[in-house]
């Protein structure tokens, strides 16, 4: 590597400080502390050490950079702009304004060079672990003895806030256990959080903690270019087999002496001192100033990055010409191409009575065979969630080609890591646990939805039918709470064939996450409905499961294990009753109005729903004139069938509710 041009990097750091001050002063909000405190780290990375290519922000072998401390977004925007990404100075001036490419916190899809949506502290650390796993998997799957097309690093920047969060702790422990030595985590150690000095809330030995996790730890002065660069290069070159933790001691808000080093530097409080601070840094009166020397430096630097990229392109083409099948696999995955999955799933024995989690296991195998980049993980519950890819092998230190990920009992990190894999865009990640523990992963599930990531959750044990484990393990409000997340498809299939449709829907979706909600207890195969209707019906979100044989007067609606009760109730209620299976509200609502009207005609007001969960979500379908049979309380500890019955999940209750309607 060339020797770093320290004076140029110093000027660049000064200019980045200026941009952050000006942007935050202009919009009167934002976080000055990190962009000022980490300016040297930014200059060292973007101006020298990172291997990336601004004109090809998704270059496959770029070093990924994740700003876990997303509040410091102006750090990222300044460096992306200066590096020559397609992020204009105008956009920097529009920091935090409507439809700008510089939103308050970094958002995936919004800004070239932003690898992950961050801001909720700690998430980025788990995402970075997901990226690092994705990189290891990519190396194992695609590199050949002759050609190395993947050998990049994953770099993240986190502060005290991120490292205090449980999700980062879970993910860091797993990264150490897995020996992800391609991961470099910078810790912006400035002794300050938001409300106070960090010592008000933490006194642990963070370095010791990371050593205990199995990481290699270095400590440096984060303002010293030589130290930053040599620590980074040492981390990149490690042969220890350990992830790399670089504690960078920094002065938060460096450049605004009135606030630096204190919690006042964290946000925008320093704005009132900006004029003097700019002057002291040697910046001219002109705001959003970039020294011509800085611009020229980055133009040259970009050229050298481009030549590295061009050399890689040559290797890639040579690899591609010798490995056509592998290349097609990789390129199809990146393009989001998914084969037709339903045709690969054989029909189930109509007389079978199995749990949808078991059906899910059966369905997953042919899907995994068709999608070689599908990954299936579980938070220590593969034995119950049944989502193990049978001939997929385990991903571990020794085997980066494995397709089954063992997350341990780390649901939050699992969901954050799945996001990292999905951001990377090569593998199709799925993960599993009991549905009731989705609350442990909810912050990451929410971000998957916000960032439109095609993550699949295979969450089982979906109701009070769990039984003997009791109310702690019996979701009642959980499905409703998940339906409240915009952009998340929640699919609760009723039987094995609906499960086939649900898995196809989930893995064929490329523009957002899907939650598969599967039951623990056996359910009948509903063979009064054709296989085709059940499978295709799920893809539409809702369909007529039983058509009326006389003038339509009553509609029964159900999902999952309760569809059998709606069908049985219809037998008692007579020919004017229609049964609608509604396994996925979100998909149903994406159908056109004519289809929705054909399934649930607006003129028919006698409607009853049944679902083993709280009734709130159903009133949008049963309306004020209808009734919802559900469970508006916590469950009970007893055999599952008993609990379901005592809490009213019966055909009888549906019949009575329907009869009570005028």
x-marked contacts with ligand TPP along 591-630 as a string, rule CB under 6 A: ----------------------------------------
**Residue 169 touching ligand TPP (CB under 6 A):** no
Which lies closer to ligand TPP via its Cβ, residue 189 or residue 561? Answer: 189
Closest approach, Cβ 263 to ligand TPP, in A, equals 7
Rounded distance between C-alpha atoms, residue 316 and residue 122, angstroms = 34
Q: Closest CB to ligand TPP among 159 and 179?
A: 159
Q: How far apart are CA 258 and CA 410, in angstroms?
A: 42
Phi, psi of 472 (to 5 degrees): -65, -30
Q: Which of 159, 429, 431, 541 binds ligand TPP (CB under 6 A)?
A: 159
Shortest gap between Cβ of 223 and ligand TPP (angstroms)? 14
- 192 contributes a contact to ligand TPP by CB under 6 A: yes
CA nearest neighbour of 483 among 587, 607, 327, 352: 587
Phi-psi region of 11 (alpha: psi -120 to 50; beta: other; left: phi over 0): alpha
Q: Which stretch binds ligand TPP (CB under 6 A): 144-152, 187-195, 321-329, 406-414?
A: 187-195
34-73 residues in contact with ligand TPP (CB under 6 A) are: 34, 69, 71-72
Phi, psi (degrees; rounded to nearest 5) at 303: -60, -45
Residue 475 binds ligand TPP (CB under 6 A): no
Our finding on whether 119 is near ligand TPP (CB under 6 A) is: yes
The residue among 52 and 264 lying less far from ligand TPP, judged by its C-beta, is: 264
Is 24 a binding residue for ligand TPP by CB under 6 A? The answer is: no
Distance CA 651, CA 639 (A): 19
Among the candidate windows 184-192, 302-310, 535-543, 553-561, which touches ligand TPP by CB under 6 A?
184-192
Stretch of residues binding ligand TPP (CB under 6 A), selected from 116-124, 315-323, 459-467, 492-500: 116-124
Q: Are the beta carbons of 238 and 216 closer than 8 angstroms?
A: yes
27 or 608, CB closer to ligand TPP? 27
SS (H, E, C) 573-593: HCCCEEEEECCCHHHHHCCCH
Whole-number Å distance between alpha carbons of 462 and 583: 13
**Got the DSSP string for 32-64?**
-HHHHHTHHHHHHIIIII----TT-TT-TTSPE
Output the smallest distance, CB 435 to ligand TPP, in A: 23
| Cα 342 from Cα 500, distance rounded (Å) | 7
- The CA-based dihedral angle spanning residues 609, 611, 616, 620, taken in that order and rounded to the nearest 10 degrees: -40
- Assess 271 for contact with ligand TPP (CB under 6 A): no
Q: Of the listed pieces 15-23, 117-125, 358-366, 566-574, which binds ligand TPP according to CB under 6 A?
A: 117-125
Helix (H, G, I), strand (E, B) or coil at 181: coil
| Inter-residue contact 420 to 129 (CB < 8 Å) | yes
Q: What burial class does residue 579 get, using C-beta atoms within 10 Å of its C-beta: 0-12 exposed, 13-18 middle, 19+ buried? A: buried
User: CA gyration radius for the chain?
Assistant: 27
* Min separation Cβ 236 and ligand TPP, Å: 25
- Give the nearer residue to ligand TPP in terms of CB position, either 164 or 514: 164
Give how far Cα 175 sits from Cα of 126, 131, 198, 303, Å.
9, 11, 25, 34
User: 279-318: which residues touch ligand TPP (CB under 6 A)?
Assistant: none
CB of 222 vs ligand TPP, minimal distance in Å: 11
Q: Give the residue among 599, 606, 359 at the shortest CA–CA distance from 501.
A: 359
Nearest to 224 by CA among 18, 44, 46: 44
Query: Rounded to an integer, what distance in angstroms lies between the CA atom of residue 234 and that of residue 239?
Result: 10
Query: Is residue 33 close enough to count as binding ligand TPP by CB under 6 A?
Result: yes
253 is a contact residue toward ligand TPP (CB under 6 A): no
Shortest reach from residue 416's CB to ligand TPP, in Å = 12
Closer residue to ligand TPP, CB minimum distance, 108 or 507:
108
Which range, of 155-163, 277-285, 411-419, 649-657, touches ligand TPP by CB under 6 A?
155-163
List residues bridging with 432 in a β-sheet.
Answer: 378, 458
Q: Does 193 bind ligand TPP (CB under 6 A)?
A: yes
Q: Considering the complex, what minimum distance in angstroms separates the CB of residue 255 from ligand TPP?
A: 14
Q: Pick from 10, 51, 148, 194 the residue near ligand TPP by CB under 6 A.
A: 194
Least distance to ligand TPP from the beta carbon of 369, Å? 39
Q: Rule CB under 6 A: is residue 190 a binding residue for ligand TPP?
A: yes
Question: Which C-beta is closer to ligand TPP: that of 120 or that of 420?
Answer: 120
Question: Active-site residue among 115, 170, 411, 562?
Answer: 411
Is the Cβ of residue 191 or residue 510 nearer to ligand TPP in the bound state?
A: 191
Nearer to ligand TPP, 72 or 431 (CB): 72
Q: Which residues pair with 524 in a beta bridge?
A: 353
C-alpha span between 443 and 439 (Å, rounded): 8
> Which region, judged by CB under 6 A, interacts with ligand TPP, from 82-90, 192-200, 313-321, 532-540?
192-200
CA distance 377 to 156: 23
Please give the DSSP secondary-structure letter assigned to residue 373: T
Q: For ligand TPP, which is the closer residue by CB, 277 or 517?
A: 277
Q: Does 268 bind ligand TPP (CB under 6 A)?
A: no
**Which residue, 160 or 216, has its beta carbon nearer to ligand TPP?**
160
Examine the residue annotation and report whether 411 is marked as an active-site residue of this protein.
yes
Strand pairing class (428-434; 456-460):
parallel
Using CB under 6 A, which of the segments 118-126, 372-380, 454-462, 625-633 binds ligand TPP? 118-126
Stretch in the footprint of ligand TPP (CB under 6 A) among 17-25, 159-167, 231-239, 429-437: 159-167
Residue 157 dihedral angles phi and psi, to the nearest 5°: -125, 120
The total number of residues written for the chain in this structure:
662
Site for ligand TPP contains 252 (CB under 6 A): yes
C-alpha–C-alpha distance, residues 179 and 406, integer Å: 14
CA atoms within 13 A on the CB side of 107: 16
CB of 217 to ligand TPP, least distance (A): 18
CB nearer ligand TPP, residue 161 or residue 512: 161
Stretch that binds ligand TPP, among 188-196, 423-431, 518-526, 587-595 (CB under 6 A): 188-196
Residue 551: strand, helix, or coil: coil
> Which of 384, 59, 45, 94 has its CA nearest to residue 233?
45
Specify whether the CB–CB gap between 537 and 580 falls below 8 A: no
Which of 81, 266, 382, 406 binds ligand TPP (CB under 6 A)? It is 266
Indicate which single residue of 54, 120, 431, 583 sits in contact with ligand TPP (rule: CB under 6 A).
Answer: 120
The whole-angstrom separation of Cα 32 and Cα 254 is 9
Which residue's Cβ has the minimum distance to ligand TPP? Answer: 159
Size of site (CB under 6 A) for ligand TPP: 19
Closest CA to 557 of 504, 617, 515, 501: 617
Under DSSP, the state recorded for 351 is T
Q: Please identify every residue annotated as catalytic.
A: 411
Binding site residues, ligand TPP, CB under 6 A: 33-34, 69, 71-72, 119-121, 159-162, 188, 190, 192-194, 252, 266
């Amino acid at each position: 590597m060339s020797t770093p041009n320290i004076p140029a990097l110093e000027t660049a750091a000064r200019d980045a400080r200026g941009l952050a001050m000006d942007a935050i002063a202009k919009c009167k909000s934002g976080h000055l502390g990190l962009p000022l405190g980490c300016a040297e780290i930014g200059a060292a990375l973007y101006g020298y050490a990172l291997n990336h290519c601004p004109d090809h922000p998704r270059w496959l072998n770029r070093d990924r950079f994740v700003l876990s401390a997303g509040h410091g977004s102006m750090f990222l925007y300044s460096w992306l702009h200066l590096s020559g990404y397609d992020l204009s100075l105008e956009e920097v001036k529009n920091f935090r304004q409507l439809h700008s490419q510089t939103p308050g916190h970094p958002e995936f899809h919004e800004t070239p060079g932003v690898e992950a949506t961050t801001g909720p502290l700690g998430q980025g650390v788990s995402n970075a672990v997901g990226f690092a796993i994705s990189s290891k998997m990519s190396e194992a799957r695609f590199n050949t003895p002759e050609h190395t097309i993947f050998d990049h690093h994953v770099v993240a920047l986190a502060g005290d806030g991120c490292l205090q969060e449980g999700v980062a702790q879970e993910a860091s422990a797993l990264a150490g256990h897995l020996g992800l030595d391609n991961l470099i985590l910078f810790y912006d150690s400035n002794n300050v959080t938001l409300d106070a000095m960090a010592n008000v809330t933490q006194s642990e030995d963070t370095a010791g903690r990371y050593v205990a996790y199995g990481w290699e730890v270095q400590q440096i002065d984060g303002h010293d270019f030589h130290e930053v660069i040599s620590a980074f290069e040492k981390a990149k070159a490690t042969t220890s087999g350990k992830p790399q933790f670089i504690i960078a001691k920094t002065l938060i808000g460096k450049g605004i002496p009135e606030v630096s080093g204190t919690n006042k530097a964290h946000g925008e409080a320093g704005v009132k001192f900006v004029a003097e601070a700019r002057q002291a840094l040697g910046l001219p009166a002109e705001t959003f100033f970039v020294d011509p020397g800085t611009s020229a430096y980055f133009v040259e630097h970009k050229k050298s990055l481009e030549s590295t990229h061009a050399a890689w392109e040559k290797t890639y083409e040579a690899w591609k010409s010798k490995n056509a099948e592998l290349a097609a696999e990789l390129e199809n995955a990146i393009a989001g191409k998914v084969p037709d999955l339903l045709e690969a799933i054989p029909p189930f024995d109509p007389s079978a009575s199995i749990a949808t989690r078991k059906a899910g296991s059966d369905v997953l195998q042919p899907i995994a065979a068709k999608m070689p980049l599908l990954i299936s993980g579980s938070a220590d519950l593969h034995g119950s969630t049944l989502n193990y890819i049978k001939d997929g092998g385990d991903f571990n230190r020794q085997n980066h080609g494995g397709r089954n990920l063992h997350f341990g009992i780390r649901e939050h990190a699992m969901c954050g890591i799945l996001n990292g894999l999905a951001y990377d865009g090569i593998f199709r990640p799925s993960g599993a646990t009991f549905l009731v523990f989705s609350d442990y992963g909810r912050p990451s599930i929410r971000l998957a939805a916000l960032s439109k990531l095609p993550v699949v959750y295979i969450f089982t044990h979906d109701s009070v039918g769990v039984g003997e484990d009791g109310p702690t393990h019996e979701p009642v409000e959980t499905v409703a709470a998940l339906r409240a997340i915009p952009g998340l498809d929640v699919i609760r299939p009723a039987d094995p064939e609906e499960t086939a449709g649900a898995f196809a829907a989930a893995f064929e979706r490329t523009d957002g996450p899907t939650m598969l909600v599967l039951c623990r207890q056996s359910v009948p195969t509903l063979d009064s409905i054709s296989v085709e209707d059940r499978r295709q019906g799920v893809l539409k979100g809702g369909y007529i499961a039983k058509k009326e044989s006389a003038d339509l007067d009553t509609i029964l609606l159900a999902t999952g294990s309760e569809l059998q009760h709606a069908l049985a109730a219809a037998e008692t209620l007579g020919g004017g009753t229609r049964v609608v299976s509604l396994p996925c509200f979100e998909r149903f609502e994406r159908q056109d109005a004519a289809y929705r009207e054909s399934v649930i005609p607006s003129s028919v007001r006698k409607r009853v729903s049944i679902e083993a969960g709280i009734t709130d979500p159903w009133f949008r379908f049963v309306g004020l004139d209808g009734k919802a049979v559900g469970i508006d309380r916590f469950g009970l500890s007893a055999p599952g069938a008993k609990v379901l019955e005592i809490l009213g999940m019966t055909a009888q209750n549906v019949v009575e509710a329907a009869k009570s309607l005028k």
